[in-house]
Chain A
Amino acid sequence: MNCFVGIDLGSTTTKAVVLDERGETLGRGITNSRSNYDLAAELARTEAFVSARFALLEREVAQAAGPAVLARLLKAFRLEQTLAQLARLRARIEEEGARAVPQDRRAPLSRTLASVFEKMLSEEEERFDDPAPCERSDFFRDAAGSAFARIARDLADPRGISFELLAGLYDKCIVKVENEPLELGFREHIGRALERVGDRSLEVAVDRAVEAPLEVAASVGTGYGRARLPFPKEQIRSEILCHGLGAHALFPGTRTVLDIGGQDTKAIQVDPQGIVTSFQMNDRCAAGCGRYLGYIADEMNMGLHELAPLALSSRRPVRITSTCTVFAGAELRERLSLGEKREDILAGLHRAVILRALSLLARSGGIEDEFTFTGGVARNAAAVSALRALVAENYGQRRLNISPDSIYTGALGAALFARRAAA
Chain B
Amino acid sequence: MTVPGKDRSMELQKEMLAGHYRRLEAAPEAGEPVVYTFVPGNLTELIRSFDALPVLPEINALQSAMRGRSQGFIAEAERAGHSEDVCSYVKCDVGMLKAGNIGPTGTRLPKPDLLLLSYTGCYTFMKWFELLREEYRCPTVFLHVPYQGDGRQTPEQRAYVASQIRKELIPALEKVTGQRYDEERLRESLHRSAQAEDDLVAVLQSARLEPSPIDAYFGAVYYVGPIFSAFRGTPEGAAYYRALRQEVEERAAQRLGPMTPSGRLDSQKYRLVVEGPPNWTHFREFWRMFSDEGAVVVASTYSKVGGTYDFGFRHDASDPLGTMADYCSGCYTNLSLPERVSMLVRYAREYRADGFLIHSVKSCNSFSAGQLTILREVEKRTGIPGGFLESDLVDARYFSPANLKNRLESYFQMLDARRARSET
Contacts and interface: CB of A to CB of B under 8 A. Distances in A.
Contacts of A278: 379, 385-386
A277 B414 contact: yes
A137 interface: no
A10 to B, nearest CB: 12
Nearest to B414: A276
Nearest to A281: B407
B60 to A, nearest CB: 27
Given A275-B418, A276-B417, A240 B376 contact: no
A423 to B, nearest CB: 12
B246 interface: no
A20 interface: no
Contacts of A273: 421
Interface in A207-261: 224, 237-241
Interface residues of A, number: 20
Given A278-B385, A283-B390, A363-B372, A237 B403 contact: no
Nearest to B417: A275
B388 interface: yes
Given A277-B414, A365-B376, A224 B388 contact: no
Given A284-B398, A363-B388, A241 B417 contact: yes
A12 interface: no
A373 interface: no
B406 interface: yes
A272 to B, nearest CB: 10
A279 interface: yes
A283 B418 contact: no
A239 B414 CA distance: 11
A284 B413 CA distance: 21
A281 B406 contact: yes
A238 B421 CA distance: 18
Contacts of B410: 238-241, 276, 279
A281 B379 CA distance: 18
Contact of B414 (A241, A264, A281): A241
A353 B355 CA distance: 32
B285 to A, nearest CB: 15
B402 interface: yes
B336 interface: no
B414 A224 contact: no
Contacts of A224: 402, 406
Contacts of A241: 410, 413-414, 417
A214 B413 CA distance: 29
A280 interface: yes
Contact of A277 (B385, B390, B398, B409): B385
B417 A283 contact: no
B312 to A, nearest CB: 34
A239 B411 CA distance: 11
B154 interface: no
Contacts of B385: 277-278
Most chain A CB atoms below 10 A, which of B376, B400, B413, B417: B417
B142 to A, nearest CB: 35
B398 A279 contact: no
A211 B410 CA distance: 39
Contacts of A283: 390, 398, 400, 403
Contact of B413 (A238, A264, A271, A277): A238
Contact of B406 (A238, A276, A365): A238
Contacts of B402: 224, 284
B273 to A, nearest CB: 16
Interface in B365-402: 372, 376, 379, 385-386, 388, 390, 398, 400, 402
Nearest to B401: A284
Contacts of B418: 275, 277
Given A240-B410, A363-B372, A365-B376, A284 B400 contact: yes
A237 B400 contact: no
Contacts of B398: 283-284
A237 B372 CA distance: 26
B364 to A, nearest CB: 16
A276 B416 CA distance: 10
A253 B353 CA distance: 31
Contacts of A279: 410, 414
Nearest to A241: B413
A409 to B, nearest CB: 15
A319 B148 CA distance: 42
A280 B388 contact: yes
Interface of A: 224, 237-241, 264, 271, 273, 275-281, 283-284, 363, 365
28 contacts: A238-B406, A238-B410, A239-B410, A240-B406, A240-B413, A240-B414, A241-B413, A275-B414, A275-B417, A275-B418, A276-B410, A276-B414, A277-B385, A277-B414, A277-B418, A278-B385, A279-B410, A279-B414, A280-B388, A281-B403, A281-B407, A283-B400, A283-B403, A284-B398, A284-B400, A284-B402, A363-B372, A363-B388
Interface of B: 372, 376, 379, 385-386, 388, 390, 398, 400, 402-403, 406-407, 409-410, 413-414, 417-418, 421
Given A273-B421, A276-B410, A283-B403, 15 more contacts: A224-B402, A224-B406, A239-B406, A240-B413, A240-B414, A241-B410, A271-B421, A275-B414, A276-B413, A278-B386, A279-B414, A281-B403, A281-B406, A284-B398, A284-B400
